[in-house]
Amino acid sequence: MASTIYSREFQRVSAYALMILFFIEFITGIGASPSTSGLVNKLTFGLLNRIISTEIHVAIAIPLTYFFILHMFIGLRNILLSKGINNQFLYKIIFPIISNVLFGIAVYLLLSFF
């Protein structure tokens, strides 16, 4: 089978990327908070202070959003396939359009907020 975003290998890689980015976002979010930044600073031996945590937290928001949307549509396709819906037009045209629109909206909101 050709390597696509629906292949098992790609699903696994995207799931690991999402998990790693989420973990980093979680830790840096705690490190960016005024009340818990000291704890993260101590646990990371001074590597993540409040300023660096905030910068990393903001910087990985867009890649995290990308992998979340990608992972969501891969899962949605798997659910629909298990229900017997095998519409290639849906998977090759409609899903990419909707996911790109959602990603564009998310990036716009992230850039407007930060």
The pTM of the whole model exceeds 0.75:
yes
- What mean pLDDT is predicted for residues 25-40? 92
The dihedral through the CA atoms of 50, 51, 52, 53 has a sign that is: positive
Distances in whole angstroms, Cα of residue 105 to Cα of each of 46, 65, 99? 36, 11, 10
Share of the chain above pLDDT 90, in %: 80
Euclidean distance between CA atoms 16 and 14, whole angstroms: 5
Among 2-6, 36-40, 80-84, 109-113, the minimum mean pLDDT is found in 2-6
On the question of pLDDT at 25 being above 60, the answer is yes
